[in-house]
Structure 1
Amino acid sequence: MASPAADDYLKTVFSHTEWQEAPITPSVLASKLGVAPSSVTEMVKKLAAAGLVSHVPYGAVRLTEAGEQRALATIRRHRLIETWLVREFGYAWDEVHDEAEVLEHTISDRLLEGIDARLGRPRIDPHGDAIPDAEGRIVREPFVQLADAAPGHTGRVLRVHDRDPELLRALEELGLEIGIEASVIPGGLRFGGADVALPEGSADVIWLTA
């Protein structure tokens, strides 16, 4: 199962439950990967046969210990590359995802280690996602999604999902950055001494420290 496609499946299964608890179903997996349900069924069977996932018909897909370690290795590559592109090449945070999707399957372990060392062993990527270390360990702070945060809740902006580049650009224009202190207000956030109304959909892509 040494293939980029298998790595993409494992990475997607892990990422789905990284910030919420509901396991991923084959239909959701197909939607996230942009492939036909029949393709997911076939690949999940192969991953299960290789001992990388567990799955029962019509049930959720879950990573085995071996599958999780492989997923974390791919995620480490992806997030280090995103961080590298932003810091060293001036990419914006809405531009790095697609580049990293390609590069994560091509660079050597030696180059990846060199990137990690040059960047000072970063713990988070440009979107606030935790970067696993070389042993697959990952550290994540307690969090709350903005959609679930009560008005008045105050915390640091911990993460902004990278699925919508246009929304990322809009939030950047408003001054939202990873790590800033913010308080929840109806329809937005208070940060930098001002009340900021957020674009539609923002509550589903922003996480704060709990």
Structure 2
Amino acid sequence: MPATSPAIEDYLKTVYAHTEWQPDAITPKVLADRLGVAPSSVTEMVKKMAAAGLVSHVPYGAVRLTDAGRAQALAVVRRHRLIETWLVREMGYGWDEVHDEAEILEHAMSDRLLEAIDERLGRPVRDPHGDPIPSVDGTLQRRPTVLLAEAPAGHKGAVVRISDRDPAVLRSLDEAGIGLDAKLRVTDAAAASVTVAVDDRAHALPRRAAEAIWVTA
């Protein structure tokens, strides 16, 4: 199987994304759940990727990218996030609509077209959800952040990133006027919800929404 196959690219991107905003390495079970495939399929693919020098892995243990795997993962992530940015800015998509489209296009778009899109967009450094867009050489720009669900009462910060895993959360935050760079203050960090003040308006966010938002530390 070639190292540039769509299947391998999806695996590499998923392994990378799992540890981008938290420190715990991904397990084969979580990898299978994220990709929607059978554990046996993950076992077989991880063996092939390890043989190709893209990941390191011990049986039943975590899967980690090698330097070569990370470089290839960042190239796929760059494609995905530039495409999402292009769809929102140029094609009229909502930020809750772009993920699935980018999943398809990232495997088909040529490097020439991607470079043209990057230039047209002004070399953006983040996508519509705040995820950093790697440069061609893999450089990332990122600020120190804290997960809103873990921020104590009184914490003040600007929204840096909002996970796109749940489109319904994105739509609800859009309706509440909470997007990237919104300045908020945590007024109550209860177990079931997190209440924040944005422009002097209080919003009680359910825990699943608070677990999707990163703010400046």
Which interval holds the TM-score relative to the shorter structure? over 0.9
The question of 1:108 aligning with 2:115 is answered no
Runs of 4+ in 1 over 3 A off after TM superposition: none
Which position in structure 2 is the counterpart of 1:131? 133
Q: Counterparts of 1:183 and 1:83 in 2: how far apart (Å)? A: 28
Q: How does 1:49-198 map to 2 (within 5 A)?
A: 49-186=51-188, 187-198=194-205
Deviation at 1:200, TM superposition (A): 4.3
How far 1:90 moved relative to its partner? 1.1
TM-score (norm 2): 0.95
State the superposition RMSD in angstroms. Answer: 0.8
Structure 2 residues without counterparts, runs of 5 or longer:
189-193
Question: Matches of 2:196 and 2:129 in 1, distance apart?
Answer: 18
Residue in 1 aligned with 2:210?
Answer: 203
Alpha-carbon distance between aligned partners in 2 of 1:175 and 1:56, rounded to the nearest angstrom: 45
**Per-residue CA distance 1:147-166 (angstroms, 9 max, x = gap):** 11111111110111001111
After alignment, is 173-182 or 62-71 more displaced? Answer: 173-182
1:10 partnered with 2:17: no
Aligned partners of 1:185, 1:59: CA distance in 2, in Å?
40
Whether the 8 Å contact between 2:197 and 2:203 is mirrored in structure 1 is yes
Deviation at 1:188, TM superposition (A): 2.2
Q: Which ranges in structure 1 are unaligned for 5 or more consecutive residues?
A: none
Q: Would you say how many aligned residue pairs link Structure 1 and Structure 2?
A: 210
Residue 43 of structure 2 is matched in structure 1 by 41
Q: What is the CA-CA distance between 1:20 and the residue it aligns to?
A: 0.2
